[in-house]
Amino acid sequence: MSLKRVTNAIEVMPSQPMQKCDLDLGAKVVDEATKYAQSLDFKPHRDARQALKVLGDANPQNCTETVPLGGEVGQEREGRRGT
Question: What's the pTM value of the predicted model, to 2 decimals?
Answer: 0.62
Domain boundaries, the chain: 3-62
Q: What is the pLDDT of residue 16?
A: 66
Rg (CA), the chain: 13
Contact 81, 29 (CB under 8 A): no
57/78 Cα distance (integer angstroms) = 35
> Per residue in 6-60, pLDDT tens?
666 666 556 667 778 899 999 999 899 888 888 888 887 778 878 878 888 999 9
Q: What is the pLDDT of residue 28?
A: 93
Q: What is the pLDDT of residue 11?
A: 62
Q: What is the pLDDT of residue 34?
A: 87
